Structure 1
Amino acid sequence: MAGGRKPCRAVTARLRRSVNRRPGTASPCPWPCTFYSVVAGHLDGGEEVKAAAIRDAREGAGITIAPENMRVVGVMHRRAGDERIDFFLVAERWTGGIVNAEPHKCDDLSWFDLDRLPENVIPYVRRAIESFHRGVWFDSFGWEE
């Protein structure tokens, strides 16, 4: 690859009867900072997708998830200035109480029923949740031009 540029960057996210977080005003975000997302993060390199999701859940929501309680429910290839591959996982069980463990990055951490999400959910996250509901395992976003 010319210049060492990677065509895709893997990102992990997880869905669970919907813990959503809204980025804080101090957090750089491509969407309006009043929009909700799922608890998410990036692979740090040298780590497996489930391990990254477990780490992000601990760092962002203060919970501990055993690997056997995580399952991949979707993959999205999207364009957002660059290309990204997002993995969406569901945690069925965890230990600890869900808290906003990164108040410097996130203004709010709220539960929403997946059938009644607020209007201000980041569009690709909404699409991923809708795909999950329909049993669609792979989707693309941001390629329509």
Structure 2
Amino acid sequence: MTPPADARRPPTTESHPSGTDPLTLVVGVHLVLVDDGTVLLGRRRNTAYANGMWHLPSGHMEPGERVTGSMTREAEEELGIRIAEADLELVHTLHHLDADDGRSRLQLFFRPTRYDGRVRNAEPHKCDALRWWPLDGLPGTTVPYTVHALAEIARGRCLSTVGWAA
């Protein structure tokens, strides 16, 4: 349905004041592989963020990529598996305000309906272990927003926020 002409927002041509930028979100993609009540996590190694902590296979969108293309690329790079973009189901969206750098991040969590290949650690220089953990027994050294998102997914919630003032 098209809004009435007077309700449409006029195009803007103004520039942003000196020293400010328009909102930019960092978009992260996360793969949620669940098997018989367990979830696959990798322990991060030689990374700037959460070194030594357990986390879902994940990465960031690169310029010019579709979000689903980012997820399929990361799955192949990190786990050696191939996922068709059409086989990805978005199971959770997390709007995360990162306390470390103050940046607003949109974290998207995907579950594949199917994939090809055998899961393996394809990036041992960035991940020193892959392990299946019970969803109700994640290690204490799991990235906190990962724990949050997995709990929200288990509750059937598709959207949450973390890090914002109440």
Query: How much does 1:6 deviate?
Result: 4.0
2:55 is matched with 37
TM-score, normalisation: structure 2: 0.79
1:93 is matched with 114
Structure 2 counterpart SS, 1:76: strand
Provide the rounded CA distance (Å) in 2 between the counterparts of 1:144 and 1:39: 28
Provide the rounded CA distance (Å) in 1 between the counterparts of 2:80 and 2:22: 34
2:131 is matched with 110
Residue identity matched to 2:27: A
User: Would the aligned equivalents of 1:41 and 1:56 in 2 still touch at CA under 8 Å?
Assistant: yes
Provide the rounded CA distance (Å) in 2 between the counterparts of 1:6 and 1:101: 34
Q: Does 1:72 align with 2:121?
A: no
1:10 is matched with 27
Q: Does 1:56 align with 2:78?
A: no
Structure scoring higher RCO (CA < 8 A, sep ≥ 6) equals: 1
1:122 is matched with 143
Structure 1: stretches of 5+ with no match in the other structure: none
User: Would the aligned equivalents of 1:37 and 1:125 in 2 still touch at CA under 8 Å?
Assistant: yes
Cα deviation, 1:81-108, whole Å, max 9, x if unaligned, reads 2110000000132111111111111111
2:3 is matched with none
- Give percent identity, aligned residues only: 28
User: Would the aligned equivalents of 1:76 and 1:139 in 2 still touch at CA under 8 Å?
Assistant: yes
2:152 is matched with 131
Structure 2: stretches of 5+ with no match in the other structure: 1-15
Residue identity matched to 1:143: W
Provide the rounded CA distance (Å) in 1 between the counterparts of 2:75 and 2:64: 18
1:27 is matched with 47
Question: Aligned residues, how many?
Answer: 142
Distance 1:4 1:37, change over 3 A: same
Q: Cα RMSD between the aligned structures?
A: 1.7
Structure 2 counterpart SS, 1:7: coil
